[in-house]
Amino acid sequence: MAKTIPQLIDGEWRESRSRELIEVTDPATQRVLALAPKATHEEIEAAIASAKAAFLTWREVPVPERARLMLRYQHLLKEHHDELAEILAEETGKTFADAKGDVWRGIEVAEHAANIASLMMGETVENVAREIDTASWMQPLGVCAGITPFNFPAMIPLWMFPLAIACGNTFVLKPSEQDPLTPNRLAELFLEAGAPKGVLQVIHGGREQVDALLTHPDIRAISFVGSVPVGQHVYRTGTAHLKRVQAFAGAKNHMVILPDAHKDQVISNLIGASCGAAGQRCMAISTAVFVGAAREWIPELAAQMAELRPGHWKDAHAAYGPLISQQAKQRVQRLIAEGKAEGAECLVDGSQCTVEGFPDGNWLGPTLFRGVTPKMSIYREEIFGPVLICLEVDTLEDAIELINANPYGNGTSIFTRSGGAARHFQHAVEVGQVGINVPIPVPLPFFSFTGWRGSFYGDLHAYGKQAVRFFTETKTVTSRWFDDEPVVAGPNMTIHLK
């Protein structure tokens, strides 16, 4: 029988007393890999109390020492890179290459957290008034929490807790119940790097455990990545309880193709960006917008896309793996059926895909639609599967208007050889992350992940300088020092301005 995974509470890995257990399954075989507990009320309270107590001492640890912890941690992550990728591949179904990329993008954020001393520098101005100086200091908030999704079980936890902890906070992580083994291993390595007792807690569970974090008075900030309905719930509930919240939600990412682009480059990038990771990326390209004569490339795109084959993570020739769950597969199949019923032309249909040797896997083959309109459900909804829909417009302005009318604003890209067209596009499009001849423009950690509009709820984004601001408060100190004879102040406040 599969073992119940432990939770990290007060510096110890503890077996949960909960009788409610969630099966963690291999999406390629349905084999139960482990059981994740739904943390009890007492366990959540213990984790938060431990984090609160640890904050009192951790906040006083000098910034260079916190940076050294992150240096040791990123070194351990690199040493265990392939081991982490194997755990991740088995519980998510991602190909080994894709799993290694997931881990590496998380390591990059841990590397960035090692620069925390320079990232937390405040500002000073001498003589803001006569003999009066002002300085600002960035100080930690307290106990912070992170709620992470299934699709990047290494990268997104590493978006959150290294920077939060490097800033001087303590952290409670609630990873996805669908693939919690990778986050647990990340936490084990963090302890091995020398993290003090109570600085990081890991609890498991579902909606009830999320709500406990959102409403707990000792949690100061919540970082969330997931679906639109849950993102809205997290933001509304968290802010109603006076917490800082950054909630990354859905997406409908467009790639605009101009006729002057390199055709082979366009087709190759479209296939990879739409079907990679089985399309289960919030930055996946799910919508191709062909401008003018570029629409003539769609049949060739269909022919090459039809050659793509999913497979098990140990298969070096597999283009991508299964979807995370049977429910996820059924949802994508429903949307494919709706697309056909609404009149879109299905050029490649992967809805009944099978993989030899793995009859129970959550497989979906690559799927391509043409003749899609903005009123169709396959355009309006985030599909989150290996499905690409094609729209055709006459001009670049039409493409920009189409994208700006969509409620989401996570990512977009344009493929062209025209610098003028690219510059106009990047300026006019109302999307937070723009790629020019780059299909998935996810910024490196010294920038920030800047989704807009319906793709994000909050003010400050993940990682980079914005995350440091999110996990800190600014204290402004105005000081004046007197000689032996003090200056007597009158009732008029303008004396300080002379």
| Residues catalogued as catalytic | 282
Alpha-carbon distance 451 to 454, whole Å? 8
Bridge-based pairing state of the strands 7-9 and 12-14: antiparallel
Question: Residue 114 contacts by C-beta under 8 Å, 6 or more apart in sequence?
Answer: 67, 68, 70, 71, 74, 166
DSSP secondary structure letter of residue 143: E
What is d(CA 392, CA 450) in angstroms, rounded to the nearest whole number?
Answer: 27
Of 199, 159, 64, 82, which is closest to residue 451 (Cα–Cα)? Answer: 159
Backbone angles phi, psi at 201, to 5 degrees: -120, 150
Report whether 174 contacts 147 (CB < 8 A): yes
The one-letter code for the residue type at 399 is A
**Those residues with Cβ within 8 angstroms of residue 427's Cβ, 6 or more apart along the chain or in another chain:** none
Tokens of 199: 């600085």
Please enumerate in sequence order all residues whose Cβ is within 8 A of that of 386, keeping only pairs 6 or more positions apart, or say none: 274, 275, 278, 279, 308, 310, 320, 350, 364, 365, 366, 367
Match 């401008």 to its residue by tokens: 291
Strand partners, 369: 346, 389
